[in-house]
Amino acid sequence: MEITIEDFQKVEMKVGLVIEAERIEGTRLLKLKIDLGSEMRQIISGIAEYYKPEQLLNKKVIVLANLKPRVIRGYESQGMILAAGCKEDEERGVRPVLLTPDGDVPQGTKIC
């Protein structure tokens, strides 16, 4: 499916810094607290089988910041962290890898 540049301009991505991470017991989910510079966000991510919470502390990630919040397993998720590798890729043996900035970029910096 193709989108227009106008569609893409609606997407707000920012650099975030993971300041807390914990596994949600009995699930493949991690509960992350992410600093976006001007605000903190809680994001629930299905990456617990690939990343341990301690691996993510102080890691900069790319966050889809204007995704409508939703409740996942009783926890509100206020965005999404981006990774290379999706369900289809896992079937081919490719595990998700978090997208991170190449260099020291302050949290809250917009991706454009």
Q: What is the pTM of this model?
A: 0.90
Q: Is the pLDDT of residue 26 over 90?
A: yes
Q: Give 3-state DSSP helix, strand, coil % of the chain, rounded to 5.
A: 10, 40, 50
Q: What is the mean pLDDT of the chain?
A: 94
**Over residues 17-37, mean pLDDT:** 97
Q: Is the pLDDT of residue 88 over 70?
A: no
**Over residues 39-65, mean pLDDT:** 97
Domains of the chain listed by start with CATH number: 5-102 (2.40.50.140)
| pLDDT the model gives residue 90 | 66
Nearest to 61 by CA among 30, 87, 92: 30
